[in-house]
Structure 1
Amino acid sequence: MALLVQKFGGTSVADPERMRAVADHVARTVRRGNQVVVVISAMGKETDELLRLAREVSETRPGREMDMLITAGERKAMSLLCMAIADRGVPAESFTGSQAGFLTDSTHMDAKIVDVRPERVREALDRGSVAVVGGAQGISPERNITFLGRGGSDTTAVALAHALGADVCELYTDVSGVFTTDPRVVDDARKLTTISFDELMEMTANGCPKPAMRSVEYARTHGVDLHVRSAFTWEPGTRVTKEDDDMEQAIVSAVVHDASDAKVTIGGVEDRPGIAARVFRALAGEQVSVDLIVQNTSEAGRTDISFTVPDDELATAMAVCEREAAAVGADEVTGDPDIARISVIGAGMKTHPGVAATVFETLAAHDINILMIASSAIRISVVVAVEQAEQAIQVLHDGFRLDEGPAYID
């Protein structure tokens, strides 16, 4: 008998028909002799609707009350799914995050899991029931309901799988797995059968929207095997596991993109110690998240510093930099919201030279200008103008022949 944790996202349970389809699948899984824990998100766009209502009703929107409001969507969905499963002759019991033993810190709207004590979930399984847990929620030390943030249901599922010692954590969504690139951009994007945690971490950190990056990080830390698959076709998806040293590693596995950043450039900065420290401390003080950073070679004692920030933080970043410009001897501060980051990812980059050269040659051959470059052991990222982003994705996907299969070390 296997113990499976199955997580279903909002699109998977968006309406009564989808809810019944999920109940059918859960019942089939149980009848095959498995124990099942389900983690469920709010139905469809219900979380967005609750946030809209909050904005219309209140200007202050206290964090405690926002968490109470948002997590109501998952509580509604878990109860309905239990009813649908019961109609199939399979007993099911619903649990809120606090009832399932999720202890979090006190941060509202983006709480972090401190501990998971799933005694009631274990008891339900021992009784032969399916345990259905509301995702993305827990309880703080002050006994307040907390919300884990967007994508928190993925993290709930992985944390439960670890705490229960589950055989696998299945993350069901509206796509059939993890692809070599966005299928909406490249027609011949290929579904990956397997991928390492490190590769998927880089993908989710650089634009791949599913699964949530926090859940992948949690799974990697605690050794929870993941299976990303479709709740619409039920076909096998992409398995995410620890990298095997004995396996041949793909040089490049995927090309991902993120068009949600903007670029800030502080031009003509005095080239002396402490300048960058002052600027980035000021940005941190205003809660601006900085990603890629590039500093040009100094000429005549002056240099340029460029960095990327989330689009919605560009105005704040510009205001901070303009405020600091005189103190750091800057000539000008400019912002560019029309950029996109393209990242080429593969575990084999660590031991295979020439990937960066291929990336740059491929883009140059198609007259795609690179604005910024950054890299890690298994990733090369470039920033390009947003209007060239789709072309960059396509030519890099073609250049590494990812439609044919992963590129392997010779």
Structure 2
Amino acid sequence: MALIVQKFGGTSVGSIEKIRAVAERVLKERQAGHRMIVVLSAMAGETDRLIGLARQMQHIPDPRELDMLVSTGEQVSIALFAMAVKGAGYDAVSLLGDQVAIHTDQMHTRARIDSIDADRINRYLDQGKIVTVAGFQGVSDNGDITTLGRGGSDTTAVALAAALHADACEIFTDVAGVFTTDPGIYDKARKIDYISYEEMLELASLGAKVLDIRAVSMAKRFKVPVHVRSTFGNTIGTWVVDEEKIMESMLVSGITYSKKEARITVKKVPDQPGIAAKVFLPISDAGILVDMIIQNAHEGGLTDMTFTVPKADYERAMEILHKVAREIQAQTVTGDQEIAKISIVGLGMRNHAGIASTMFQIMSREGINMMMVSTSEIKVSVVIAEKYTELAVRALHDAFALDKENLPQEEVD
């Protein structure tokens, strides 16, 4: 008898019929003798609807009251699910985040989980109940309802699996698993059977939307096996596991892209100690994340600083940097929102030279200029013009033969 945590997203519970279908799927596992914990998101579109209501009251809704409002979406889902299970002749109980006692910090709308009390859930499991828990929410030390931000239900599920030492955490979504690249861009994209926590962390941070990065980080920390699979089929999906459990690593496991970044250059900055801090500290204080950074030196003690920021923060970043440029006597600030970041990720890159050079050769062959480059142990990222995104992804996918499984290293040129 295994203890299984299953999470279903908004599209999986988007209607009464879909909630019944989810209940039937869960009951098959229960009938097989497994103890079941089910984490549900709000019904598709419900969170956005509630945020829309909030903005009719306040242009920028109060974070505490917004959490109070949007947390009601999951309450509807879990109650309806529990009713569906009971209607089928089995016992179930629905619990909100504060009833489970999912303790978080006090950062409303993007809280982080500190701890979980497992006693109440264990009591219900011992009574033979299917326990359904509201995803995305918790409770702060002062008793306020908090929410974990977008993708928070994934994090709830993994955190519960860790706290209860579950045998597996299954994340049900509208895709069949983790693919070598976006199937919407390239029909040769292949579903990956096993991927390491490290690779999944990189893919999640670089734009892959299958799993929330906080959920992957928590799964890695507590060694929770995560199975990403489709709600609408019975096929095996992708297992996210320890590197040691993967028998053979591909040189490159996946290619991802992001069109949600912008490039900013502060030109002819005095090349002096402390200048970089004067440039980036105001950006940090504004809560804007800086990703790739390069610096090009000029003659005469001047340098250019180029970096990327989220496209949503571009206008605010430019406003801040124009002021900074005047203060440090930089020449000007320029920007480009029509960019994309293309990244290749793979554990095999640790022990094999030439991956980056192959990527650069492919970009050159296709006539794609690389504006920026960054690398890590298992990742290479380049910034290119946005119009070349699909071409770059397809060319790299072919170059590394990602449509084939377990390709020997020597076969990749």
State which drifts further: 215-224 or 267-276. 267-276
Per-residue CA deviations over 1:75-117 (Å, capped at 9, x if unaligned) read 0000001111112222110000111120011110001111101
CA shift digits 1:203-257 (9 cap, x unpaired) = 0000101210000000001111100000011311000101118833211000001
Query: Quick one: distance in 2 between partners of 1:371 and 1:406?
Result: 32
CA contact 1:252–1:406 (8 Å) conserved in 2? no
Aligned position for 1:160: 160
The 5-angstrom pairing of residues 110-121 of structure 1 reads: 110-121=110-121
Bigger CA drift: 302-311 or 239-248?
239-248
Deviations 1:256-313 (A, max 9, x none): 0111111111111111111111100111122211111111134332111111101111
Residue equivalent to 1:284:
284
**Equivalent position of 1:31 in the other structure:** 31
CA deviation after TM superposition for structure 1 residue 316, in Å: 1.1
Offset of residue 406 of structure 1: 4.4
Q: Please report how far the alpha carbon of residue 407 of structure 1 lies from its aligned counterpart in structure 2 after TM superposition.
A: 4.1
Q: Secondary structure at the match of 1:99?
A: helix
Q: CA deviation at 1:320?
A: 1.2
User: What is the match of residue 133 of structure 2?
Assistant: 133
Question: Hey, what's the Cα distance between the residues in 2 that align with 1:59 and 1:396?
Answer: 44
Residue identity in the other structure for 2:161 = A
The secondary structure found in structure 2 opposite 1:11 is coil
Distance 1:57 1:245, change over 3 A: closer
Q: Does 1:350 align with 2:382?
A: no
Alpha-carbon separation, structure 2, partners of 1:392 and 1:329 = 38
| Aligned match of 1:269 | 269
Contact preservation (8 Å) 1:348, 1:408: no
Identify if the C-alpha distance between structure 1 residues 93 and 245 changes in structure 2 by more than 3 Å, giving closer, same or farther.
closer
1:340–1:383 contact (8 Å) kept in structure 2: yes
Q: Could you state the TM-score of these two structures normalised by the residue count of structure 2?
A: 0.97
For residues 7-406 of structure 1, what are the structure 2 equivalents within 5 Å?
7-244=7-244, 247-406=247-406
Q: Is the 8 A contact 2:252 2:345 kept in 1?
A: yes
Structure 2: gaps (5+ residues): none
TM value normalised by structure 1: 0.98
Deviation, structure 1 residue 400:
0.5
Question: 2:17 aligns to what SS in structure 1?
Answer: helix
What is the rounded CA distance, in whole Å, between the counterparts of 1:385 and 1:325 in structure 2?
26
Equivalent residue pairs, number = 410
What do you get for the CA RMSD once the two structures are aligned? 1.2
Give the letter aligned to residue 3 of structure 2. Answer: L
Q: Percent identity?
A: 44
